[in-house]
Amino acid sequence: MPNTDVVELKHFTEEHTQQLCTFELPMEQGQFTSLPKNYLEITEGQHRIVIVHHLVPVGFFLLHATERVKEYTDNPNAMLLTSLSINHKEQGKGYARHAMNILRRFVLEEFPNCNEIILAVNHKNIAAQRLYAKVGFQDTGKRKMGPIGEQFILNFMLS
């Protein structure tokens, strides 16, 4: 297994574009998330975060500080995490778990007003549910209907 101590979270820059556009996911995973190439154009309040290992992009997610957050929580200081993916050829190496373990520090440093991260995970996406539970996300008990069924709303308090 690779040394995940060199996994970092970085804000997207143009130098990441070429590598992120090569990301692939099997169909069963693609139904639950979006590929990074779908987020080359970004809207205000969306922050593209790249998971890098030895400076090579291996994963990606978005952090939202937009009106969309209000669909999931009443907390004005929360951010919404969406579109987490690890490139298929890099899966099984612990990158997603490590990235989520260093998420708290990253968000507190980069977004000091944020005190909660919230996300929705499809009820059929057992692998993602296990990952989020392992790194400390809690089920809020709220549910939301998504494009392919019920979603569990999870949160992670930073303070």
- 3-47 pLDDT, tens digit per residue, is 556 899 999 999 999 999 999 988 888 878 888 888 877 788 999
To 5 degrees, how large is the angle CA 155–CA 110–CA 34?
A: 55
The partner residues of 10 in beta bridges, in order of sequence, read 50
What is the 3 state secondary structure string of 85-112?
A: EECHHHCCCCHHHHHHHCHHHHHHHHCC
What three-state secondary structure class fits 79?
A: strand
CA–CA separation, 77 and 112 (whole Å): 10
pTM for the model stands at 0.92
Q: What pLDDT, on the 0 to 100 scale, is given for residue 146?
A: 87
Domain CATH for 113: 3.40.630.30
Contact 118, 81 (CB under 8 A): yes
Into how many domains does the chain fold? 1
Q: Which domain holds residue 99?
A: 4-157
